[in-house]
Amino acid sequence: MENKLEPVIGLEIHIQLNTETKLFCKCKNEYGATPNTHICPVCLGYPGALPVLNEEAVRLALKVALALHADIHKLSRFYRKNYFYPDLPKGYQITQYTESLATGGYIEIETSKGYKRIRLERMNIEEEAAKSIHTDTGEVLLDYNRSGIPLLEMVTLPDMNSPEEARTFLEKLRLILRYLEVSECDMEKGELRVDANISLRKPGEKLGVKVELKNLNSFKSVYDGLNHEIERQKKILQGGGTVIQETRLWDEYKKETRTMRVKEEAHDYRYFPEPDLPPLVVRDTEIEELKKTLPELPDEKLKRFVSQYNIGKDQARILSLNKNLADYFERAAQVAEDKRLLANWINVEILGYLNENNLGIQEFRIHAEELGEFLNYVSRGKLSYNMAKDIFKKTLYNEESLKHLLEEALSSTISSQELEKIINKVLEENQELVEKFRNGKTGVLGALIGKVMKETRGRADARKVKEILESKIGSPKT
């Protein structure tokens, strides 16, 4: 068999919606609380307790559906998915099934071959199971704090053709969900969970046998797990074998996938409509209201930043990757005259500092408006870029006030008369250099600038010094 095998990847994603309370009861939806403190008869499945749908969860799910261009169904339904497991207190999970909240929709990603739409099959609301903790002694401990937390289930079509695309898709999805403020998507906390379906085929041929890959606990493990699974399947197919349909687990430590269960063991979940809940009806007016609350999404923001502020696309992309950072930029841009300088400053000076110190922009000490004003001194030539950088650094690392340092620097900045005097003096004392310059040795200009800067003790703007020098000594003879 030839080497040209194309991976076909689809993802099944579960997102915990960050509501105040759980999906069917009033218990708090909170991560990391003392186990079994956010529980009640409903989320414990006690006899006689009934579910009441949390409308906030529906709103958040609808926001996602709208943002991803999905078709929202006016009427959807909850079903019971029946199976026995200790983390499932009722013996069934309340979920949506054939009558989904939304179908269709897509996320556009940028690949090495250009833009590509990854289409979505459906979006469903469902409840989370309790958390099972397996102890070293073989016991299973159950934390029902997680039981009943609202989940948004999202299934893509098999539109991804490489682990890179899968990772890019997930990064884009996470970015959008963060923009929408429906989930922080922290995979370590289980706020975002991903299973992948993967098969190989020769391009143009029909889909191969797919394997479901589970236990992908980070974007890195999605990427690594898929790569390893692709290699495994390649080896089988190239050796003339067949891939069997099964569910495999990714082992992050051993760097391998291994069989969890084969298809024949699949459950019969005996789905039927949940009689305790009426159908979920979404009204047009509700959708219209929600549309108004949708924030500008990353793609739109990127385009707008480029056109409105005339900044580079790469800088606009970095800014739009984080909604808070983008907001910071825009607030500063209200004040800053040079938007390119501002964008560059944020990308280089601020992001560098934040990354180095593991901080978010929300924790950054210098207000956006203050930064805008500060940079205006640079763009108006009152402060050199290097001086500004020094002041900025001092402000951040020595926790000195930006305003104070700025005032100090400005008061010590040399006046144009004084600068002129110094330049004249330097020219007089260095006639031979001036001569060399006029004879075409333009490199000596640097030496002249250096001498002026030394005389001013660094109080002058080097760019300005250069301008004045050039105007004074004229152009080199050709």
Task: Name the one range near Zn ion by CB under 5 A: 36-44, 59-67, 158-166, 226-234.
Answer: 36-44
- Report the residue from 30, 31, 69, 82 that binds another protein according to the rule CB under 8 A: 82
Bin 259: left if φ > 0, else alpha if -120 < ψ < 50, else beta.
beta
Of another protein, Zn ion, none, which one sits near residue 306, judging by CB under 5 to 8 A according to partner kind? none
Task: Name the one range near another protein by CB under 8 A: 57-65, 76-84, 289-297, 347-355.
Answer: 76-84
Structure tokens at 337: 């005259």
Residue 97 DSSP SS3:
coil
Cβ proximity of 72 and 282 under 8 Å = yes
State the nearest-atom distance from the C-beta of 271 to another protein, in Å: 8
Check residue 262 for interaction with another protein (CB under 8 A): no
Site string for another protein, 307-346 (x = CB under 8 A): ----------------------------------------
Task: Tell me which residues in 123-142 interact with another protein (CB under 8 A).
Answer: 142
State the nearest-atom distance from the C-beta of 89 to another protein, in Å: 6
Q: Which of 145, 199, 105 is nearest to 22 (CA)?
A: 145
Q: Which is nearer to another protein, 49 or 260 (CB)?
A: 49
Q: What span, in angstroms and rounded, lies between the C-alpha atoms of 251 and 244? A: 19
Q: Which of 40, 54, 27, 62 is nearest to 290 (CA)?
A: 62
Other C-beta atoms closer than 10 Å to the C-beta of 75 total 9
State the nearest-atom distance from the C-beta of 43 to Zn ion, in Å: 3
For residue 258, what are the CA distances in angstroms to 161, 228, 244, 246, 255? 22, 11, 12, 10, 10
Check residue 214 for interaction with another protein (CB under 8 A): no
Check residue 397 for interaction with another protein (CB under 8 A): no
Q: Which of 19, 52, 20 is nearest to 151 (CA)?
A: 19
Q: Pseudo-torsion of CA 382, 384, 390, 396, nearest 10°? A: 50
- Report the residue from 8, 17, 23, 42 that binds Zn ion according to the rule CB under 5 A: 42
Check residue 50 for interaction with another protein (CB under 8 A): yes
Q: Which is nearer to another protein, 55 or 289 (CB)?
A: 55
Of another protein, Zn ion, none, which one sits near residue 82, judging by CB under 5 to 8 A according to partner kind? another protein
Q: Which residues face 123 on adjacent strands?
A: 102, 154
Task: Name the one range near another protein by CB under 8 A: 12-20, 37-45, 65-73, 320-328.
Answer: 37-45
Q: Which is nearer to another protein, 90 or 167 (CB)?
A: 90
